[in-house]
Chains A and B, each alone.
Chain A
Amino acid sequence: MYEHDVIVVGGGGAGLRAAIAAHEEGADAAIVTKLHPVRSHTGAAEGGINAALREGDSWQDHAYDTMKGADYLSDAPAVDTFAQTAPDEVIQLEHWGMPFSREEDGTVSQRPFGGLSFPRTTYAGAETGHHMLHTLYEQVVKRGIEVYDEWYVSQLAVTDEDDPNERDCHGVVAWDVQSGEVAGFRARDGVILATGGPGQAYDHTTNAVANTGDGVAIAYRAGVPMEDMEMVQFHPTTLPSTGVLISEGVRGEGGILYNSEGERFMFEYGYATNDGELASRDVVARAELTEVAEGRGVEDEYVYLDMRHLGEERITDRLENILHLARDFEGVDGLEEPMPVKPGQHYAMGGIEVDEHGETCIDGLYAAGECACVSLHGANRLGGNALPELIVFGARAGRHAAGADMPEPKIETGPDPDAEREDLGVPLGKPSRTEATTDGGTVEHPDSDPDAIVETAADAERDRIETLLEREDGVNHADVRADLQATMTENVNVFREEDGLKQALADIQEARERYQDVYVADKSRTFNTDLQHTIETRNLLDVAEAITMGALAREEFRGAHWRAEHQERKDDEYLKHTLVSWNDGDPELWYRPVLLEGDEGAYEPKERSY
């Protein structure tokens, strides 16, 4: 068994920032990650980091833009904390040497981004995430923080009290991908999940192959609610053949969207008559698909994003990476021709329910970054708000886990026994027959000795892996995953309707049944990616089901969530978060009101127009 004060799961932006913060608080922090940190998908973020740094801008304006973009489904304490802290964190990155793009006077440049009332997006070319990731990793190396890379965390070591609010997290169980060794990792002070998004639940996504929602799924099965999972952002400009992202920075710099008729449809068809291409992402994504549906798409699939008029010098200076992406992954020269783009799954606004310190309802269990839902992005995340979230809430989780003195959180967490439960009227959760391979969440143990809890969890994981490897025949997880992705893309995409959502839940239930017979063809203990992907697919099933449950329950149109039968935002009924609890295999959906009371008074829901 390995032992540290704070165990951070995941080595992307949030995980690295959390580890640094815990270390600076005096804790012995370690990072356990299935990829080497520099391979993390933070590195693919292109556009930028929003922060109110300059005269004429204010944290209040940043907070207001964020809340409006979120369509008022954010919790004010999260939004205020975020907007107040982002400037310090950006300057901290600069002090750690991040190569930001610069103005003539040597100060950090900022550019306009969708949904922002001030050009407050700092950036480093069109590869901001790459530079942020490497800068943070450099600081981890500088501090000698231990990194267990290519160790896959597959379970948490959580006690099994009936009420999840009473449970404690004492560590994690991980296996060394290279050697196959399964080991317990005892965390004396806390476990911080920073495992990123669940994009692999969809087949057209900007997410990496590694983005399988692992942290969300293991926290969920241990009893932590998943919050606002239906809120999935579809980015309006991804390359049609691969899903590779073309940054919003292109539109920020003046890029224009055209339909097949050469019309600037964002204005000409009234989708966003003020902000045009720079309207919020959900608005632009729906506009593009509407154009295609009405016969004005190119090859009935996509629209054009044109940046030629910006000129070679400006493009090379600020968007050079985009030229490489368009050439390598779509065979298009962005200086000579417009780039084909269509919406693709991009970001999960929802995730593990946490408070503004990153803590879940389980004592000692934290989450930060895309896997978490502090409820910052609500129903729609603004471009340039993901990277600052990683550093603001990564750092806070790290500090709190390491024992820093922080005020009582304002955001509530954990299952509320008095909340109304929604009956969705369809089979959910554990299939009729449950095999050892899909069991697991909490640890049954007669006493509460933390070491014993971790060891018991590790033993259970060894058994589970042996069972998977011993089977000689069965279903290949890749088939289950492909079917899951197909139904999610078909039914739980930009446009959603009741029948499709129910179909998706039925398909997921069938996929769960089939998964009971899953087997791993590769019998090797050495670098067994077949085994790893098989476990990941199970995580995707749980996450996809929660996304769909939320989408079915929320009978309104808010932010990224559009329902055919319910074409308006219903503030009387739905100014509340959806929460899904695993409930030991019998998932429950319930609600908690949105907190709109902020530091400067209450946010008033207004019409969201751009």
Chain B
Amino acid sequence: MSTQTPDTETESEAEQPSSKPHHERRLAEKRERAETKEAERAAAAQEIKGETVELKVFRFDPEIEGKEEPRFDSFTIPFEKGMTVLDALIYARDQYDSSLTFRHSCRQAVCGSDAFFINGRQQLGCQTQMADLDWPVRVEPLPHQDVVKDLVVEMDHFYDQMEAVDPFFDPDDLPEGELEEQRQSPENRENIKLSTRCIWCGACMSSCNIAAGDNKYLGPAAINKAYRFYMDEREGEQKRQERLEIIEQEHGVWRCQTQFSCTNVCPKDIPLTEHIQELKREAVKQNLKFW
């Protein structure tokens, strides 16, 4: 299923943790402690600002009754200064519903796991402050990708496109001296610097109208990866030409209509559209394509 189809959403309140006493006293005590802790935490939140924020999260699970049809669940989250969307999701999962599913790992915008569609824009959950958003905050999986469950999308297509551009360094020859590195000018390193920052989060691909309509389009991230190697003065000439041929094919750079949506959503501020344009120029220069 895809996020492009649903309009059958229903609102349902997430179940609060059950307060039914368990047969074992220890468990009951534990729960009591947890409730006290929870109350304290709520009171603390109250003291600061008394603010809570409503988080509306897309839910879907192909094999769980009541979740086979996409819906939105609402969670009431005590707001704290500095809280990110990821913090709010973790709170909702750990306090209300442990089946709430989303990818996340590093919490610092480098692993690229937690790109979501937040209030209608592709952003990393960990890098987005709740305070900077309109409330209630609505979190959906990345559009144009198949949903596996809740906020988890199928990434295989994205990875396939990344791998389609031969995303690896392939020099013609290497220095032979002991411990001798290849030389690279600081200027050339600077030229490729932004392109090397890509964290494979998929936000760009998800934001791209062309990619949505053409499943074979390489997409901004893969073309940027090609740029990273094409522009690297250490890269071998043969591989540069091969890679240029890959990206100037039918579903390559010429598909880009310079709408800048990828550039606008990139969490690492990579000028993706510019890189695509530069590669178009390179393709022309190399007489591989006259347009």
Contacts and interface: CB of A to CB of B under 8 A. Distances in A.
B104 A38 contact: no
Interface string B268-281: 00000000000000
Contacts of B127: 328
B149 A524 contact: yes
Nearest to B18: A473
A447 B213 CA distance: 57
A260 interface: no
B44 interface: no
Interface in A258-307: none
Assign chain B's interface to a size class. 35 or more
Given A91-B181, A527-B152, A38 B200 contact: yes
B168 interface: yes
Interface string A77-99: 00000000001100100111101
Nearest to A244: B108
B64 A524 contact: yes
Contacts of B111: 35, 38-41, 43-44, 208
Nearest to B185: A106
A35 B24 contact: no
A209 B98 contact: no
Given A38-B112, A138-B167, A130 B82 contact: no
Q: Chain B binding site: helix, strand, loop or mixed by DSSP? A: loop
Contact of B168 (A40, A138, A513): A138
A142 interface: yes
Interface stretch (B48-56, B191-199, B250-258, B283-291): B191-199
Contacts of A94: 181-182
A103 B64 CA distance: 58
Given A95-B171, A97-B169, A241-B82, A127 B110 contact: yes
B40 interface: no
Interface stretch (A224-232, A381-389, A501-509, A515-523): A515-523
Interface residues of A, number: 73
Quick one: which of A38, A104, A210, A245 has the most chain B CB within 10 A?
Answer: A38
Contacts of A99: 184, 189, 192-193, 196, 232
Contact of B183 (A35, A105, A142, A244): A105
B159 interface: yes
Given A91-B179, A101-B189, A522 B99 contact: yes
A569 interface: no
Interface stretch (B5-13, B26-34, B71-79, B204-212): B26-34
Contacts of A102: 184-186, 189
Contacts of B157: none
Contact of B110 (A43, A178, A209, A521): A43
A473 B28 CA distance: 12
B163 A141 contact: yes
A591 B200 CA distance: 45
Contacts of A107: 181, 183
B234 interface: yes
Interface of A: 35-36, 38-41, 43-44, 53, 87-88, 91, 94-97, 99-108, 124-125, 127, 130-131, 134-135, 138-139, 141-142, 178, 208-210, 241-245, 324-325, 328-331, 473-476, 478-479, 482, 513-514, 517, 520-530
CB-CB nearest 7 A-B residue pairs: A97-B169, A106-B183, A522-B99, A138-B168, A142-B168, A39-B111, A478-B94
